[in-house]
Chain A
Amino acid sequence: MAKVKSLKIFIIIIGLVQPLFGQESIFKDYAEEHNKRSYCLYPSTLRMINLQKNEAFDDMASSFEKFLIYELDSISASNRSFNSMLSSYKEEGFEEYLTIIGAGNYTTVLGEEKRVNEMVGVFGIENQMFAFFLRGNIAWQKIPTLVNTLSENDLFNVLDMRQWE
């Protein structure tokens, strides 16, 4: 009887955890096939790029659970195949938060905050296109403090590969 009870609890836990992985897997399935570089940032990694130990940035970093950024390959950037990935998220109940398209801009941010706090999207910087997935309780109220206190040399820009060469 105890074994049956444990099995039931196990099944319930798996059932609860499954949607979380399900949401992330849509992103990963797409991005891992179409990327040039990938970055997986956790609170500890975000704290590492904070060269000047900015306190507001550390507070912000500890509020997310996971932050995945993939630089997409040039084919995916030009044929915009990421739109199908974003459509899958919309089917999962993600809502459109922001879209800026045209004249060299391409930014879309979708979010879901009912079941788990997640955001997914794409954005372009110069000729590079990135897809991102973020999970965690983002401390939005800390952003103005962060923007006001961050100076140019505070952070190491992991997305700028020229710094690595």
Chain B
Amino acid sequence: MKKVTTLAVALFLAIGAMAQGEVVSKYFDRFSGNEDYVKASISSKMFSLFTELEAGSEEEQEFLEAISKLKGMKVLYGDSVANSSKMYKEGISDVQKAGFEELMTVLDAEENFHFAIKEKSGVISELIMVSGGKKGFGIMSLYGEIDLKNISRIARNMNVQGLSGLDKLDDSEN
């Protein structure tokens, strides 16, 4: 009986881990041969290598602490998308269908942002950002153990196209 319970728990955890980043993975598959979109994926292994770095300043130390609990990141971004507005709405709908809870929406003349999270017992396990502008569309997922206070720090230091919208989370706290 104990073995069965252990197996069930292990399977449940494995399925949970596989599900992380799944919404963005669907977009990766959909646009796999489309060169107009940049698709970036960073695994937990890469994040674990970052954590071995020695911080030279307080800001670097804060950045390393911020990424130490992340398990992965997936970003899809295109800056010349014909139907960006439709894609943005579709992205939000997919995120909602996947059971994410809306965190914040920023409507801007240039670009709109929608943030949603998956949270359990007060711990955020995944953050999704959907962005859509006049021509651009992006969807990004960060998963692991996420502290919202540190998200904008990660965005500033990683310099990855499509992450700039994460600064909006910082603006909302000020």
Question: In the complex, which of the residues B37, B41, B78 contacts A96, with contact meaning CB atoms closer than 8 Å?
Answer: B41
Contact A141 B52 (CB under 8 A): yes
Contact A144 B37 (CB under 8 A): no
List of A residues within 8 angstroms of B39 by Cβ: 99-102
Question: Which of A103, A104, A144: most chain B Cβ within 10 A?
Answer: A103
Instruction: Tell me if B124 is interfacial: C-beta within 8 Å of chain A.
Output: no
Contact A105 B38 (CB under 8 A): yes
Q: Of residues 42 to 87 in B, which have CB atoms within 8 Å of A's CB atoms? A: 42-43, 45-46, 49-50, 52-56, 60, 78
The number of chain B residues with a CB under 8 A from chain A is: 22
Contact A103 B54 (CB under 8 A): no
Instruction: Tell me if A6 is interfacial: C-beta within 8 Å of chain B.
Output: no
> Provided the pairs A145-B56, A148-B56 are in contact, do residues A101 and B49 lie with their beta carbons within 8 angstroms?
no
Instruction: Tell me if B98 is interfacial: C-beta within 8 Å of chain A.
Output: no
Instruction: Tell me if B34 is interfacial: C-beta within 8 Å of chain A.
Output: yes
Question: In the complex, which of the residues B35, B45, B54, B78 contacts A95, with contact meaning CB atoms closer than 8 Å?
Answer: B45
Contact A99 B41 (CB under 8 A): yes
Q: B42's closest neighbor in chain A, by CB?
A: A98
Give the CA-CA distance A97 to B49 in the complex, in Å: 9
> Provided the pairs A103-B37, A103-B38, A105-B38 are in contact, do residues A95 and B56 lie with their beta carbons within 8 angstroms?
no
Question: In the complex, which of the residues A98, A101, A105, A145 contacts B54, with contact meaning CB atoms closer than 8 Å?
Answer: A145
Q: A105's closest neighbor in chain B, by CB?
A: B38
- Interface residues in chain B, defined as those with a beta carbon under 8 Å from any beta carbon in chain A: 31, 34-43, 45-46, 49-50, 52-56, 60, 78
16 pairs from A and B in contact (CB 8 Å cutoff): A95-B43, A95-B45, A96-B43, A97-B49, A98-B46, A99-B39, A100-B40, A102-B34, A103-B35, A103-B37, A103-B78, A111-B45, A140-B49, A141-B52, A141-B54, A144-B60
* 8 shortest interchain CB distances as A-B pairs: A140-B52, A141-B54, A102-B38, A97-B46, A100-B40, A99-B41, A103-B38, A102-B37
